Every structure is written in structure tokens, then in C-alpha cells.
Structure 1
Amino acid sequence: MTAHYCSLAQQPAPAFAPGLAAERVGALMGGRRMWVNGTVLHYYFFDGDTDGSVIPVPGSAGTRRVSWVGGRAQRDVVRDCFREWRDLGIGIGFTEVFDRSEAELRIGFQQGDGSWSAVGRDALLPGLHERTMNFGWDLTAPGERATALHEIGHALGMQHEHQSPFAGIHWDDEAVYADLAGPPNFWSRDRTFFNILRKLDPAEVNGSVWDPQSVMEYPFAAGLILEPEQFRGGVHTPGGLSALDKEFALRWYPPLDTPRPPALTPFRSAALSLGPGEQADFTVEPSETREYAVGTFGASDSVVVVFEERDGEPRFLAGRDDGGTEHNATIRARLVRGRRYFVRVRLYSGWGSGETAVMCW
């Protein structure tokens, strides 16, 4: 029997400026959805009577509202899976909040709408009244806890393993389309292609080898894969975080065991000696309340994020990504005297001289 499958919404391919060197494009593809390390992701469960989708009523001109609210047992499964990812020791935190305006991740439980998540920083794109993650079936059923681990993996920026070009999978395409068109998924050909048959760019996959044990891998029944031969009988996943899942998460989000970052003094630039994927962190404690600018300088592609410390926890304030452009990232934000702020700069790639700096003014 075919399993329920995660169903990501189709997104347009990223558009980069023409003429970019291949290594720059590769670095941008690999890091564009990843959070800066040290981010605390706040998650919110929809809980109101008016939280839901309005859908048409078959056979009439009317509509009805379908709730996004999940029961306590469903929410507890998701909470437990956030804890499992956190307990790896990664440099990303997870905190449940009860005000959707404070949440980067907003979670619904609309039955029949599939299970899916925004990938990484794409969660910042939907409006505050929209979901960034949904669970469309019972997470307490045997084997379904893996669905929550899988969707949180997407929220961290991870992709589907079976779409890796390193997997070397040769599908029986029509068998796949036929299988997914039936229960329990009822997918269109476009959705099946986007989530299964389409190959990802080598730069945006989770690693340089295929991991069939990954929580980001779908299980597949026999008869869908022609090659590699050992998977003609299907792909059977254990349903937990694999060794390579953990390695990927810790590589992108290493533990935050360093002392407090150095201060970024207004009007004094700080040189950045970073390689692709590396990050520099600074603190800012403004001496006066006013609008400040924080920006990078030099020939590089980077993302800059400013956090405000509240109750000992960094809260996202503003971010800017200059990846793929010839312009440096600059953020303007009102900083308040007596509060502490964190500036985090993550490099995609350096080009030209590769010499870069960050400054607050």
C-alpha cells in the first residue's frame, strides 16, 4: 500500500543575474534557504475558531471552512519532534509561542490538505495569517511520527533525498504517476513530478551521497524504481533521523558553544575572513535610540540578519540577502538604547578580492 507523502508546493526557480560564475550560483543554491546559525525559530499552532481554509462545497455554489486546529495529541507529537532535532545540539533553537505575530513557523492540521512545510527561510514569505507547515493526517498512527520529523527537516532547509541527482534513481515514470494518482495521495502529474521525479540541483541537496535511511526520504513500494537494482523491491525507511541527517544539521548549524560575540562598534568596520557557508556574529549595544544601518562591504554574496535580545533570547528583527547581486546587503532598523542586538553575517561566496567587512552606523 502506498504511504502518505509530503507534498511541497511548487515554487518558481530562483532567478539569478545573468553571467554569474558557476561557483557563485552553486553557493547561492546551496545556502539561499538556510537560516543563519543562532536563530531561534518560534512556532505557533493555530487554535482559533476562524483559523482555517475556505473551500468550495461539491455540487453547490457554497463554501465551508475547514479548521487548521489540531488536537493536543497531534500537537504533542510535533513538540516532541522539535525537541528531538534540538537535542542533537544544533545551533538552531525552537520555542513555542502563543501569538502568531511572534512566530516564524505557523502550524496547521488541515485534514486532507496533505503534509508539507515551507523550506527554510521561505517560511518568512507567507503572511501572518497563513500556514508555513501543515499536517494532513493522524500523526499518532503507527509510523507517522516520522512525518513531523520530516516537515521540521524542511523547515531547517532540508530537501527530499529521493530527488538527489546523486541517488542514480531510474524511475518507471508512468508507474509512479499511476501510483500517486490513487489513494491515499490523489496527486496530479505536476505534483508527482515536482515532489518525486524532478531532480534537484546538486548544490541544493542535503549531501554529496544519497541517504536512503534519511527521514527526508520517502518509502516506496516495489515496482516504481528500475535502478539501482537493489531498490526494485522498494525503499524501506526506518522513520527516524539517520546519521547523515544529523551530520548535515550539525554542519550547517554547529553548536553555539563560543563566548559572547565581539562588539560591533558604530562607525567602525569589522573585517570578515569567511569561507563559503561560514558565519560571523557580533553584538551591538547602542548608546542612543535611533535608526541605524547595518551593512556589508566588499565583493561577496551574503545574508545579514539583526536580532533583538528579549528575555535572554534572540528575536528576529530584520534581514537582508544580497546573494547574486552586485550590491551589498544593508539593513535599516530602529535600535533602542539599553537593549542588546546580535548581527549575524553568513557568507555564500566571495568573489573578486573576496575581502569583506561589516559595519553599523
Structure 2
Amino acid sequence: MRPPGGRPQPVPMNINYCSLPPQPPPSLPAGLEADRLDALIAGQFMWLNGTVLHYYFFDGETDGSVIPIPGEGTTRWVSWVGGKDQQDVVRESFQAWKDLGIGLEFAEVTDRTEAEIRIGFQRGNGSYSRLGRSALTVGTDQRTMNFGWSLTPPGERSTALHEIGHAFGMVHEHQSPFAGIVWDEEAVYADLAGPPNFWPPEKTLNNIISKYRPSDVNGSVWDPDSIMEYPFHPSLILQPEKYRAGLFPPGRISEIDAAFVHRWYPPLGAAEPPLLVPFRSVPLGLEAGAQADFVIVPEATRDYTVATFGESDAVLVLFEEVDGEPRYLTGEDDGGRPDNVSVSAHLLKGRRYVVRVRLHSAWGSGQTAVMCW
């Protein structure tokens, strides 16, 4: 209804929203050509395909933090530990993504120092996840993902699927520049300031109102059915007209979501990656966004360097195989610098190591190569 002289009032629906942590602007050299810049931004959070993402559930008595209590002006300490029923929803959601046939692997670990993804269940602190590789910048005693409400009620499995999507590098769908959403901004700010979210204006701006750049998003079309799309009740969206009555995605991985993760994380082939022999350069011949994998089996224990050559921007990661699983050793993203990507590590004779190289972009001759020595 519309009060006299006022605007239509939001229908209270108590929708909990994911509050994605603000991402600092990428630190890239000035003066990059548009194609290079777009390629670097598009791939900045994406893992190398074939990575095993280890996840850990906080379980200690002292795992927790002090949070403000909305509306009370007080604070209290709240644990990060969640029950098995909550953890099982997350486990099942990792499996749902894996069942798409993607090239990423997932392994639960009990040592937080081994985990790229560290998960808490702190109630009252919102649900969120670090975007993709940005999780590597978070200290091992801190969460990279949190669930701020119960995941067991009907429909809440979508929250776990959504946060895992962020952990892959996926962003909020409703902030796509291709969505064409025109907000009733006053109503949005008022709605999110109330229960159950109690968001300040800057959080609403970061997670709802702001639009991404085209190079930031997962594709060139808006997918209202995406698992990365929020639901919105009537009165918040002015355009497109069909969503004035509300936007209610189905809460599952859409076909476009699946296509996106397959583009970045295609199924790994059964063929053995080629051997990278010291002092022998191997041409890459990759298109932008493509990846090549190699194996190193050292004949001597010593320090090795692995590097790319040519006019290119790339990310390179070196793994050691431990019990058949690639474990991260070191990696580097050249971030648009004029020099190439290069990593060094002490490799042991007879051990098996995996090199993964993803090309952001190439210019000039377009000829690129990788070599170890």
C-alpha cells in the first residue's frame, strides 16, 4: 500500500543476504591496453584448474570473535563452531558443484594450516566468502567463509551453494552491468537497514546497488536464475518491469552457472601432462584464459626456477604431489608487469611436481613458452 504522500512500502519477508567483503581495486600497472586490463581483471580471482581446494571447519573452544548486537548497542563473543548438521549441508554443496564434472577437487582437512578455505558458522555476523584466490591473503586463524544463519531449513542449502560459488571466483549476479536493474534506492537502503540484516548504507552499496564493470562479471548476459542471484521482494526493483513484483531465483545451480565453471574449470583429461625437462623451452600456444599443465620429476635435489617467456600476462603455480594429490608449493601472477612470471623452489630428487600455467593475455608476437632450470 502507499501511505498518503509516500512511496509503496516494502513487503516484510526477512530475507538474509550474503555480505561479500569489499575487494580492494586490483593493483595493476598504469597504461595497460584495454584488452590486457580486462583479461587480468577477469582472471584475478580464479584458481588454476586442477587445484585441490582444502576446506576446514573451525572446531576449537576459542574459535570465535566479538560482534556487535544490532539494536542493542552492545557486543558479545560468538563461537565460529557449527554442528555436524550445518557442516553436512556445506559438504553436500561442495559435492553438488563437483558433480557438474569440474576440474577442481575438494578435500576436507582437520588442520587449518592446510586449508585454503576455512569455514565458520558464527550466527549474527552474516554469510560471506572471500572471492577465489583472495582467500590466500587471509591468515590461517581467520575465516575465509562464514554462515551467519542456519543452513538446515528448506531452501537454505542455496546459501552454501552461493558462498562456494564466491570461493570459486563468482560474483553477485544482480550487480552485473548487463542486468539492467534500476533500483528504488531509497527503499533498498531502508529495507536492508532493518531486520534481519541491519546493514549500514556502505554495505548495501557494496552488495546491492553498485554495478560491476563488464570485465568483472561471469559473462555477457544476466542470469536471473543464477545461484549467485539474490531474491528481492516487491517494491525494490523499478526496472526491468517484470521484476517489480519481486525477483525469486530457484536457489540452485543454473545452466549458465554450470557453463561458467566449466569454462574456467573444465574436466581434467586422462592424458598424462608432458614432462618439463630442465633447460628445454616448451611453447605454450595458448589462447587467453587457457591453461597448460606439465610435470617435473627432478633428477637432482636442488633449487629450481620455473618461468614463462614471451610477451604475455600469466599466472603460474607449482604443486608437489603428496599421496597422489597436488599440494600448493608456490605461485605467482605477473599482474600485467612487463617482466614474466617466475617462481623458485627447492625440489627433491625423484619427487613429482606439477606446473600449471594460465595465460591471461598475449600481445606483440603472441609467442609464449615455459621453461625450468
Shorter-chain TM-score above 0.5: yes
The answer on 1:10 being equivalent to 2:22 is: yes
Which consecutive residues of structure 2, in runs of 5 or more, have no partner in the other structure? 1-12
1:248 equivalent among 260, 268, 290: 260
CA distance in 2: counterparts of 1:120 and 1:56, whole angstroms: 28
The answer on 1:200 being equivalent to 2:212 is: yes
CA distance in 2: counterparts of 1:181 and 1:308, whole angstroms: 48
Q: CA deviation at 1:59?
A: 7.0
CA-to-aligned-CA distance 1:175-195 (integer Å, 9 cap, x gap): 100010001000011000000
CA distance in 1: counterparts of 2:241 and 2:169, whole angstroms: 30
Q: CA deviation at 1:56?
A: 6.8
Q: CA deviation at 1:298?
A: 1.1
1:343 equivalent among 352, 355, 358: 355
Superposition TM-score, scaled by structure 1 size: 0.97
The answer on 1:161 being equivalent to 2:173 is: yes
CA distance in 2: counterparts of 1:27 and 1:69, whole angstroms: 38
Local SS of the residue matching 1:37: coil
CA-to-aligned-CA distance 1:127-158 (integer Å, 9 cap, x gap): 11111000000000121110000000000010
2:60 equivalent among 41, 45, 48: 48
Superposition TM-score, scaled by structure 2 size: 0.94
- Whether the 8 Å contact between 2:276 and 2:372 is mirrored in structure 1 is yes
The answer on 1:225 being equivalent to 2:237 is: yes
The answer on 1:134 being equivalent to 2:146 is: yes
2:188 equivalent among 165, 176, 180: 176
Local SS of the residue matching 1:54: strand
CA distance in 2: counterparts of 1:15 and 1:175, whole angstroms: 35
In structure 2, the partner of 1:267 is 279
- Counterpart residue type for residue 259 of structure 1: A
In structure 1, the partner of 2:202 is 190
Which consecutive residues of structure 1, in runs of 5 or more, have no partner in the other structure? none
Q: CA deviation at 1:208?
A: 0.9
2:96 equivalent among 80, 84, 105: 84
- Whether the 8 Å contact between 1:2 and 1:221 is mirrored in structure 2 is no
Q: CA deviation at 1:112?
A: 0.6
CA distance in 2: counterparts of 1:350 and 1:9, whole angstroms: 31
Q: CA deviation at 1:55?
A: 4.4
- Whether the 8 Å contact between 2:67 and 2:125 is mirrored in structure 1 is no
The list of structure 1 runs, each at least 4 consecutive aligned residues, that deviate by more than 3 angstroms after superposition, is 54-60
Q: CA deviation at 1:9?
A: 1.1
- Counterpart residue type for residue 307 of structure 1: F
- Whether the 8 Å contact between 1:323 and 1:348 is mirrored in structure 2 is no
CA distance in 2: counterparts of 1:319 and 1:328, whole angstroms: 13
CA-to-aligned-CA distance 1:80-133 (integer Å, 9 cap, x gap): 000000010000011101111111000011111100000010010101111100
- Counterpart residue type for residue 150 of structure 1: H
CA distance in 1: counterparts of 2:219 and 2:311, whole angstroms: 27
In structure 2, the partner of 1:357 is 369
- Counterpart residue type for residue 66 of structure 1: V
CA distance in 2: counterparts of 1:3 and 1:324, whole angstroms: 40
| Worse overlay, 149-158 or 283-292 | 283-292
CA distance in 1: counterparts of 2:305 and 2:139, whole angstroms: 25
Assess, with a 3 A threshold, how the Cα gap between structure 1 residues 84 and 232 changes in structure 2: closer, same or farther.
same
- Counterpart residue type for residue 339 of structure 1: R
In structure 2, the partner of 1:318 is 330
Q: CA deviation at 1:65?
A: 3.3
Q: What is the total number of aligned residue pairs between the two structures?
A: 359
The answer on 1:118 being equivalent to 2:126 is: no
- Whether the 8 Å contact between 1:206 and 1:248 is mirrored in structure 2 is yes
- Counterpart residue type for residue 279 of structure 2: F
CA distance in 1: counterparts of 2:253 and 2:216, whole angstroms: 19
CA distance in 1: counterparts of 2:216 and 2:326, whole angstroms: 27
Superposition pairs for residues 15-34 of structure 1, below 5 Å?
15-34=27-46
- Counterpart residue type for residue 169 of structure 1: I
* Percent of residue pairs identical: 64
The answer on 1:308 being equivalent to 2:320 is: yes
| Worse overlay, 199-208 or 187-196 | 199-208
In structure 2, the partner of 1:73 is 85
CA distance in 2: counterparts of 1:170 and 1:55, whole angstroms: 33
CA distance in 1: counterparts of 2:140 and 2:298, whole angstroms: 30
